[in-house]
A and B are shown apart, each in its own frame.
Chain A
Amino acid sequence: MEGRWKRGRGVAASWYGIARTATIDRAGAWAELDDGGTAKVVTGVTEIGEGILTVLAQIAADELGVRPEDVTIGDNDTARSPEAAHAGATRQTYMIGNAVALACREARGRLDAVLAEIWGVEAAVIEAFNGEVWARGTNKRMTMREAVDSCKRRGVVPVGAGHFTAHGTGLDPVDGSGAPWQAYVFGAQVAEVEVDTLTGEVQVLGMWAVHDVGRAINPRGVEGQIEGGIVQGLGQALMEDYQTVDGQPVTHGFAKYILPTSLDIPQINCRLVEDPDPKSPLGAKGIGEPALVPTAPAIMNAIHDAIGVRITSLPATPERILAGLAALRAKAIAAAE
């Protein structure tokens, strides 16, 4: 019976552009060091699940010298917050992250200028982290709560605004030439599969994902994006298929539109490569979309390695696998004759 299950491995590489395509992209943000050593950040974003609120809180905390849990992020509201454009295109960390960093730097600049005056030091030696502010090379130190309070008693509210621009250019209408993005990421995934040659079922047992993300703001969050991307890619590779007949949808619920469940999940192994973006303050690039680009071809290449069947039409359903095996047998018989 062991001959029934065949294993194979395949690799696929990939690349992707960060933020909006073939156009100038932009995002804006406001920041304020608030009472009690807390902070407010307002920008046109909310969570679509990727973890952007946490990433922005980390960036703001790092730039302002507070803790991520001290940062309140305002709602995304066209009447209440500055424009950060849309939530997509692998642009959130890159565009909005950098806009928030720049807004926070302006707010910190206001605070540092006041502290420099109080302490009689250059603003450049003032540092802050985790709710503490100090002047490097001196014993001047206070909590962020005291620092904001000192600032306000001198009539200064430590606020800042920032915006970030990514300079993509349009494509030439004739030959398509152009510079659509200023930052690119690269990735590669290896898939290990097992094919049941009796039923045609493919199980993905292992995935190794290596992605350049520029600079990982939150490595665990990046892993989560990769794991989710791989499983969406696996769904498209093996089972998902929205179908219509003469325009009438026939897969209109989860009973007919089959999705990966907990039983379909390979062991996913992630490794991050950090090639920082030189054109932005943070150096981070992105991972949301790139994570699933190489998954389906890696799985198809692994299926070929296992059984010699080249699936060129997705998804690789059991029916297609069995048809491919039958064609191989017919070819072998024809060759023998």
Chain B
Amino acid sequence: MLDDRITLTVNGRRVTRPVGANYRLLDFLREELMLTGSKEGCGAGECGTCSVFVDGRLVKSCLMPTLKAEGASIQTVEGLAPRGELTPVQRAFHRTGASQCGYCIPGMVMAATAALRANPEAGIEEIKERLGGNICRCTGYTKIFEAVEIARDVIAGRLPAAALEAEETAGSFIGASVRRIDAPAKVSGALRYAGDTVMPGMLHMAVLRSPHAHARILGIDTAAAAALPGVECVVTAADVPGKDGFGVFVHDQPVMARDRVRYVGEAVAAVAADSVETARHAAALIAVGYAPLPGVFDPAEAMRPGAPVLHDYAPDNLVKHIPIRKGDVAAGFAAADLVIEETFATQQVEHAYLEPEAGLAWVDHDGVVTVLSPSQNITHHRHMLADILALPVNKVRFIMSPVGGGFGGKEDMIYQGMLALAAIRTGRPVRLVFTREESVTSTAKRHPARISYRMGLTREGRITAVSFEMLSDGGAYGMSTEGVMRKAAILSLGPYAIPNLQIDTRGVYTNNTPSGAFRTFGAMQSQFATESMMDIAAGRLGLDPFEIRRRNMMRAGDTTHTGQRLDSCSIGTVLAVAEEFSRWEQGPPAVRGAGRGDTGGPDTRARCTLGARFRSGPAADRQEVA
């Protein structure tokens, strides 16, 4: 399929290569030239991880056909500085801790470089606008802004070059803001993530996924796919030699759908071939017979008798119920002067790490099945894969590659099993890299929650009783639902001493995209409700929001909602510091808004209005515009 030759200049070197007509500039840089600093985050020009300079202009290389770059001069992140050196922008990113997972960082460095090339005097609002096409999921952008401002000032000579160096450390390295040891590799694009890794003889995998939310599989015909030239193997559930099931708490999910599909995007079959294109083509040739089944898409409906059942072991579709009881709730409500009832809802949320799932599997000389992937839990994955492959634990090896953002989303062993099966079948290394759409639709989300809340308080604002009930859609497989329900329940009522309480959290199966682990593991959903209730109560009682929290907060020696005695408890200090630090003006939450005297301080930003890059451009530009 290499039908054309192209000549262009990349990082100062002239390159002539055959290219496929379907090759994007990003593919050419990564696959032909092994310049893997440019990442594929979305393949649709929306995230900026693939940013490069083409004839000096910042371009998203996932949108540019390689053949359009004929004769062009390309600069990638690897070419910004001579090998072993870093530009002031890269050094500033290192200095401020602007890289976390690092996956967006090469693109972010390119965008920052472009911003300062376009306007070396760019102000912070203009810098923010010029970085607006690049998504970062880890850092909250704040340290990136700081880095670009430092780089700008060093380049302009307003700050000494020493501003890019490490801070001095005296006496102890603990408590010192030592620069990140992984940052130079991240800002230069040198760090290789799983999807950047290649091995000799490596095959590429594509996965066929279910278009149905719930269906019986009548048959899978892989003959046409297997016969396609370049295809080395097709694997399905029938190829699993051992006990087929994975999950964080209950092992209810097969490596690939077995007899039934339970959500849209569930893996049904996988192909390993000599190129990604061939593997995808072959996957499309697999014929699957489906008999659609009634689905259930609402967690409350899933609990009703007669609802479609997803898993035989759970005829009521209940994954987990966590009850917590303390004191006498009826007596607590009877003693209340005020009882507030409210319901809350939170949505499903996507992790949106910039690194889509990727992995590489091979069988080594000792017969050890090895999987390299950004897994957040290689210990548990090794145990599960050993059972799936019917191998001793020490014949399965997991290597955790640098994780380009996890947030809990890479705790599920959702694709490593397919890779291992294909590596065993072919005897060759096999690599799988998810597309963004696959990553979004087939992996776990944050649990959505519906919460019914009842809180009783005295006139003085002391909580006398709480009844808290949360229902969560766990989706088609158990994944982390059990643990999320547990943590949501334990932490639900916040850092408050509540004598009488009743907490119930339930996670249920539906035919929706599964929910799983996501940073806070259920605690943000439940505490969102509690912290909203505290302000509603403060409003009704005419109390300052800090004051009502102080009146109820746990103190050392108190017991938690699960009856655990706290030897120390810092919430009192935390509230006092927050009140002073935020210059909080006391008063009840009664829509004070415009009447407040504490808004618009120097520790806030100005309202964002677009167009800073036009208003503050170089003088010459302004004249042109005028």
Residues of A within 8 A of B (CB): 5-17, 21-22, 44-51, 53-54, 57-59, 61-62, 67-69, 71, 75-79, 83-89, 129-130, 171, 173-180, 184-190, 192, 194, 203, 205-206, 208, 210-212, 215-221, 223-224, 226-233, 235-236, 240-244, 246-249, 251-255, 257, 259, 261-269, 271, 273, 275, 278, 282, 288-290, 292-298, 300-301, 304-308, 310, 312-315
Q: Which residue of B lies closest to A77 (CB)?
A: B399
Contacts A176-B322, A252-B437, A254-B436 given; does A314 touch B347 at CB 8 Å: yes
The answer to whether A305 and B589 touch across the interface, beta carbons within 8 angstroms, is yes
Mark contacts of B275-310 with chain A using CB atoms, 8 A cut-off: 1 yes-contact digit, 0 otherwise: 000000000000000000001010000000000000
Total number of residue pairs linking A and B with CB closer than 8 Å? 477
User: Which residues of A are found within 8 Å of B589, using beta-carbon distances?
Assistant: 10, 301, 304-305
Contact residue among B403, B524, B568 (Cβ-Cβ distance under 8 Å from A48): B403
Residue B607 lies at the interface, judged by CB distance under 8 Å to chain A: yes
Count contacts on B: residues with CB < 8 A to the other chain: 159
Please, which residues of chain A bring their CB within 8 A of the CB of B578? 11, 188-190, 208, 210, 271
Whether B570 contacts A186 by the Cβ 8 Å rule is: yes
How far, in Å, is A49 (CB) from chain B's closest CB?
Answer: 3
> B143, B349, B531: which has the most chain A beta carbons within 10 Å?
B531
| B16 contacts chain A at the CB level, 8 A cutoff | no
**Neighbouring A residues of B127 by C-beta, 8 Å:** 262
Is there an interface contact between A227 and B128, defined as CB atoms closer than 8 Å?
A: no
Q: Contact check: which of A67, A217, A235, A275 meets B570 at CB < 8 Å?
A: A275
A215-B175, A262-B128 known; A88+B408 contact, CB < 8 A? yes
B21 to chain A, nearest CB (A): 24
Contacts of B180 in A (CB 8 A): 51, 53-54, 221
How far, in whole Å, are A65 and B245 apart by their CA atoms in the complex? 47
Binding stretch for chain A, among B26-34, B415-423, B425-433, B485-493: B485-493
Write out the residue numbers on chain A whose beta carbons fall within 8 Å of the beta carbon of B169.
130
Q: Which residues of B contact A310 (CB under 8 A)?
A: 532, 536
Q: Let me know if A292 and B520 touch, CB within 8 A.
A: yes
Given the known A-B contacts A178-B562, A262-B145, are A88 and B377 also in contact in the complex, defined by CB atoms under 8 Å? yes
Q: Tell me which of B131-139, B156-164, B252-260 binds A.
A: B131-139
B84 within 8 A of A: no
A-B contact pairs, 20 of them (CB 8 A): A8-B591, A11-B582, A14-B495, A16-B523, A67-B173, A85-B377, A176-B490, A185-B570, A194-B607, A205-B606, A208-B603, A224-B142, A228-B138, A240-B349, A247-B511, A262-B141, A264-B608, A296-B528, A307-B593, A314-B528
Q: Are A15 and B491 in contact (CB under 8 A)?
A: yes
Rounded to whole Å, the gap between the CB of A290 and the closest CB of chain B is 8
Beyond the given A9-B596, A244-B348, A293-B523, please list 12 additional residue pairs across the A-B interface where CB-CB is below 8 A.
Answer: A16-B520, A76-B399, A79-B394, A87-B400, A185-B570, A210-B578, A240-B349, A248-B213, A249-B441, A252-B437, A267-B603, A297-B530
What distance in Å separates the Cβ of A85 from its nearest Cβ neighbour in chain B? 5
